[in-house]
Structure 1
Amino acid sequence: MSARRSELSRRGFLTGSLLVAAGTVLTTACSTDPTGGSSSGAGTTLNVWYHAYGEAGTQQAVLRYATAFTKANPDIAVKVTWVPGDYAGKLNATLLTDAAPDVFEIGDFSESLARRGQIAALDDVYGAARSDFNATALDSVTVDGKLHGVKMIDDVMMLYYRKSALAKAGITPPTSYDGLVAAAKALSTGKSKGLFVGNDGIGDSPILAVWSNGGDLVTPDGKVAFGSPRALEALTGLKRLHDDKSLLLGFTTDWWDPAAFTQGVVPMQWCGLWAMPAVSTALGDDFGVLPWPAYRAGGTSAVRVGGWTSCVNAKGRNVAAAKKFVQWLWVQQSDLQKDFAEGYGFHVPPRTSVAATARKLSAGPAKETTALAAKYGKHNPGTWDTAVSSAFSAAAAKIAGGQGDPAALLADAVKKAQSEIDKQLGR
């Protein structure tokens, strides 16, 4: 599940810490303090943080993994800390204290953690398995040529469409942006709308627009790239969907939930692979998946790949043991990696050999989605923090809504975003 979606939708669960030592859960300490827990007789105790996954069984799964690790490494106890609510906020605050976790997961990867020396380089953890991780998983955690995390799961975001609805309207699944605009307009009848990309009518569409016209958001050396002529062209093109009034706005749940699609409110929706079990249950085989289509000739289709990454606290007291845990779980244990990806939700294992053996990804739309990710997958750059993305999104929303001069709006966003990135990079 993507980091953005988790911030919007996670519910329940008290913050708690469960200590695993010698392969046994010894104590439970639930409180509002995510740093709770206790020590054990092991020589080293690792504090491992997870955000509160909404999928049933995930918390029990990570405890089983910790138990298996301590059986193999009885000198290392593992305290699993389950953190609900504003995980990113709690994590960032705790990383500034002595109570910082030894191992923790993050959603969209942030280069600033590496540049501040907060997370350790993990090239040695990968070893020979490095070549088995997909290119997107490696590229997304690379800072100055070094790998600063191990991707746990890939969350693929793509376009769902209702086969019967398009067939009834005589519409071929769109393979170009012109086709998408035309389909959304044709499928909008009365109060029904043809496409759902988010309650604000924006969602991921500005990012996808830039990518689909051969543009980029930020260059590897930290230069803002979304101010290019191609980016401006594609962002301006989003106005067509708004002018046609083809977009569903203000639904009861946002784009990350498939309810608008499964309930027949829209025949096309931007959503994620995690929603496929619910979509399949509701619609059977009456749905297909597509990438966001190329804006024009010379562009490329795009799907967004998010997910979660395991990192090691470089300033912690147990760096060697923490690396051992991450290596054992996310590099060496292919069965557990597959279990985590398809046992409690629906995700793609970042290791190609593991993904190839994942039964739920072996056929139908799930297999198609995996292929789309391999061919068209793009991830947000590591400098794409809240300040940078907010400057871009605000300008894109005004451009799509016809509020002001597009070139001037985008130029101002570039200036703001570049200032924020320069701060991140210390220049």
Structure 2
Amino acid sequence: MSARRAELSRRGFLTGSLLVAAGSVVTTACTTDPTGSGSGSGAKTTLNVWFHAYGEAGAQDAALRYAKDFTKANPDIAVKVSWVPGDYTAKLNATLLTSGAPDVFEIGDFSEGMARRGQTAALDDIYGSAEEDFNKAARAYVTVDGKKYGVKMVDDVMMLYYRKSVLAKAGVAPPATFDALRAAAKKLTTAKNKGLYLGNDGLGDAPLMAVWSTGGNLVADGKVGYAAPAAVEAVAALKQLHDDKSLLIGFTTDWWDPSAFAQGVVPIQWSGLWAMPAIKEALGDDFGVIPWPAFKAGGTPAVRVGGWTSCVNAKGKHVAAAKRFVQWLWVEQTTLQKDFAESYGFHVSPRTSVAATAGKLSQGAAKDTVGLAARYGRSNPSTWDTATATPLAAAANKIVRGEGDPARLLADAARQSQTAVDKQRS
């Protein structure tokens, strides 16, 4: 999920909600109180549940409401909801090594390494009869050595938005190949506006999409694949967008926020389904969605399917209560799951039964996006953590700046990523 408002980025700060002191993280938090006394004394256990700072209006209130409803149903368990802005992943990884680690936490890209290190608890026992209602990809996504170490909360789809009227006026068709995307971005660039926004660094998810657009893999069967010849050619081609000076770089918000597109600063932007309500409010029906185009013949279009997964701290003091919270909210409460998926930005529920009732996603561009995800969706592999991903990002940055041979840079990066993958799987 991402920020809706211009003043918030996906990992942006909420005023007054985060202080970092002596390496510790202090967040705004609310603890449910079954007694109504304000002391929480009626509960035998208090869970610390972490959420990253969703930018969509109402998301924080929803998380607090869900926690209160849980405590009403389970009065022995109070819930402290911690809303964590900033670099959530870095703060979570650091806090998991301390006594202040949360009992329940969400992660944006499921980590096989966390399961193998014993940081996340196996949750097979909480799925029950609902297991088959989670789509196959959602179940496979959290499975390590035959056990499930999380419950997928929402699927987030990332794709290209384009402004229908602007492209039509310029005589530009929605691009279906990388060459067409480059040509469109170049033609749509004017003295006042750039043609394409991928992110403030000029790349965003583009290196991943470039690899996938060749039909290749970031990691498959434990082997890093982004240094394959076709992938090298596709990643190297991103430099052409920079050379053409058709990319918006350094906007006030990053790619996960729709402001650049909604405000007419660019006619094509990479962003997510979560941003669609804000875009529709600003532009009406004057927009469409397309996948990242196939690089060339033999490749394939791609959209990125990410999302958030609820996990239990295996080393926490309240594992059983934490499992109960995750089970209650993300397995049993389908009404709340539907609310979370549709009411605070748009997201796709991993539950087949819940997704089938998603009226807001059954028409227009939202329906088109769901269809793109079904046809072209690709997800980061479970080994794609910071250590694995950083070498590709660093190499791609050097490539687009013309600071080395792409094949050599990506080969070196792939060796670093392979070391990180091997370490996770050892």
Residue type of the partner of 1:135? K
Task: Specify the code of the residue in structure 2 equivalent to 1:18.
Answer: C
**Is 1:95 matched with 2:96?**
yes
1:269 and 2:269 aligned: yes
Q: Which residue of 1 is the match for residue 141 of structure 2?
A: 140
Show the counterpart of 2:23.
none
Q: CA distance change for structure 1 residues 214 and 17 in 2, over 3 Å: closer, same or farther?
A: same
Per the TM alignment, residue 13 of structure 1 is displaced from its structure 2 partner at its CA by: 4.7
Give the match for residue 24 of structure 2.
none
- Per the TM alignment, residue 25 of structure 1 is displaced from its structure 2 partner at its CA by 5.6
Structure 1 residue 287 displacement after superposition: 0.4
SS, match of residue 46 in structure 2: strand
Rounded Cα–Cα distance in structure 2 between residues aligned with 1:168 and 1:185? 15
Are the equivalent residues in 2 in contact too, given 1:212–1:292 (CA < 8 A)?
yes
Aligned residues of 1:10 and 1:54 also touching (Cα < 8 A):
no
Quote the Cα distance in structure 2 between the aligned partners of 1:369 and 1:26. Answer: 47
Q: Quick one: distance in 2 between partners of 1:45 and 1:398? A: 48
Residue 85 in 1 paired to residue 86 in 2?
yes
Q: 1: CA distance between counterparts of 2:241 and 2:260?
A: 18
Match of 1:17 in 2: 29
Distance 1:25 1:108, change over 3 A: farther
What do the CA deviations read for 1:15-74 (whole angstroms, capped 9, x no partner)? 23332243x6653xxxxxxxxxx7533333322222232223222222221222223222
Residue identity over aligned pairs, in percent, reads: 69
- 1:198 corresponds to: 199
Q: TM-score, normalised by structure 1?
A: 0.90
CA distance in 1, matches of 2:87, 2:53: 10
1:224 paired with 2:224, answer yes
The match for 1:154 is 155
Aligned residues, how many?
413
SS at match of 2:11: helix
1:104 CA displacement: 1.2
For the residues of structure 2 that align with 1:8 and 1:98, how far apart are their CA atoms? 24
The SS at the match of 1:9 is: coil
**Structure 2 counterpart SS, 1:158:** strand
Q: Please give the residue correspondences for 1:176-325 in structure 2 after superposition, counting only pairs within 5 Å.
A: 176-221=177-222, 223-325=223-325
Which residue of structure 1 aligns with residue 380 of structure 2? 380
**Letter in structure 2 aligned against 1:16:** T
Equivalent residue for 1:364?
364
Residues 158 and 272 in structure 2, CA contact (< 8 A), matched pair in contact too: yes
Note if contact 1:2-1:155 (Cα within 8 Å) is conserved in structure 2: no
Give 2:11's aligned residue: 8
- Cα distance in 2 between the residues matched to 1:198 and 1:187: 17
Which aligned segments of 4 or more residues in structure 1 are displaced greater than 4 angstroms?
Answer: none
Residue 276 to residue 202, structure 1, CA distance change in 2 (3 Å): same
Q: CA deviation at 1:141?
A: 1.8
Match of 1:32 in 2: none
Once the two structures are superposed, residues 172-226 of structure 1 have per-residue CA deviations (whole angstroms, 9 ceiling, x without a partner) of: 21122222122222222334322111122211111000001011111232x2111
Structure 1 residue 261: Cα displacement: 1.4
1:116/1:218 CA distance change after superposition, 3 Å: same
Q: Cα gap change, 1:8/1:389 in structure 2, threshold over 3 Å: closer, same or farther? A: same
- Alpha-carbon offset, residue 10 of structure 1: 3.6
Indicate the SS of the match to 1:238.
helix
* Aligned mates of 2:125, 2:229 — CA distance in 1: 41
Please state whether the residue corresponding to 1:49 is helix, strand or coil. Answer: strand
Output one character per residue of 1:88-119: Cα deviation in whole Å (capped at 9) or x when no partner. Answer: 33322332233322211122222221011110
Q: Structure 2: how far apart are the matches of 1:2 and 1:280?
A: 15
CA distance in 1 between partners of 2:166 and 2:287 (Å): 9
1:2, distance to aligned residue in structure 2 (A): 5.7
Answer yes or no: is 1:116 the counterpart of 2:128: no
Q: Which amino acid counterpart does residue 125 of structure 1 have in structure 2?
A: I
Q: Provide TM-score, normalisation by structure 2.
A: 0.90
Q: CA RMSD in A?
A: 2.1
Assess, with a 3 A threshold, how the Cα gap between structure 1 residues 62 and 207 changes in structure 2: closer, same or farther: same
Q: Distance in 1 between matches of 2:10 and 2:264?
A: 26
Q: Is the 8 A contact 2:163 2:287 kept in 1?
A: yes
Give secondary structure in 1 for the equivalent of 2:315.
coil
Instruction: Indicate the residue corresponding to 1:33 in structure 2.
Output: none
| Contact 2:195–2:247, Cα closer than 8 Å, also in 1 | yes
Question: Structure 2 regions of 5+ residues with no counterpart?
Answer: 18-26
Report if the CA contact (8 A) 2:211-2:231 is conserved: yes
Query: Match for 1:343: what amino acid?
Result: S
Would the alpha carbon gap of residues 383 and 269 (structure 1) be closer, same or farther in structure 2, given more than 3 Å must change?
A: same
Amino acid in the other structure paired with 2:61:
Q
Q: Does 1:394 align with 2:394?
A: yes
